[in-house]
Amino acid sequence: MAKFGLVTEGITDQIVIENILCGFYKDYDDLDEEIFALEPPRDETDMRQAYSEFGTGWSAIFNYLSESRFRDDVLNSQYVIIQIDTDISEEFACSKNQSTEEIIECVIQKMVDKIDSKESFYTENRGKIIFAISVHSLECWLLSIYSKSEKIHTCEDKLKKEISRVSKKLKTEKNYRNYDKLSQDFLKYKKLMKIVSQNSSFQIFINRLPKEI
C-alpha cells in the first residue's frame, strides 16, 4: 500500500508536493519511495508529462475523480493528496472575489461533489483524502522561497523574475527536473515551516496533513 498517492495537474506539481512531504515528515526515512504518482501517470524514463506538455488540468482531474480507478487508488493508498490550482476556479463557479479560505472551500466542495456524484465515497473515506489547493498556482508556493511577501497573482512570471535575479544556475522552464531543483528548500523542515508561514493556502495544506504517518 502506498503511503501517499498524488493527484495533481502535472508532474511538476507532483515533485513539489513530494519534496514538501519529505521535508514535513523529516523523521520518516526513504518516504520518497512510498509516494506514487496516480494522476497524471509519470514517465519514469524521462520525467515528461504523460498526456500533455504541462499536465492534465482541471477537467482531467474531475474526470479521474468520478472514475472507479480513483476509488481503487484511494483504497490502495494510506493517503491520497489532490492538488489543484485556483487560477481558473471561476470557470467552475468559484469566484476569486473571496478570501483564500473561501476559495479553497469552494474548490474542495466542487471536487467532493464530483467524487460523491453517484455514491458517498468521499464521506466514507474523507480521512484518507487530503486537498492541496494552491491559490492561485503552485508557483505561488515556490515563490515564497525567494520572496518574503505573499503573492497570489501571476506567480509564474514573478518566479521567473526572482530566479533570474538570485541565481544563474536555476531554471524555471516547466519540467520535472527544474521544479525539483527549485523546491529543494522544502526538503529542510525548518526552512519549509518558515516558507509555509508566508503563504496562506500553503499553510492551510500543511495544517491538513496528519502529524504522524
- Which residues have C-beta within 8 Å of that of residue 22, sequence separation ≥ 6? 28, 31, 32, 35, 186, 187
The percentage of the chain sitting over the pLDDT mark of 90, rounded to a whole number, equals 87
Q: Are 203 and 135 in contact (CB under 8 A)?
A: no
What is the per-residue pLDDT for 51? 38
Region 6-33 average pLDDT: 97
What is the per-residue pLDDT for 109? 97
pLDDT in tens, 41-73: 876 544 554 434 434 589 999 999 999 999 999
pLDDT in tens, 108-138: 999 999 999 888 999 999 999 999 999 999 9
The count of other CB atoms within 10 Å of the CB of residue 202 is 25
pLDDT exceeds cutoff 90 at 172 = yes
- Mean pLDDT for the chain overall: 93
The pTM is what?
0.94
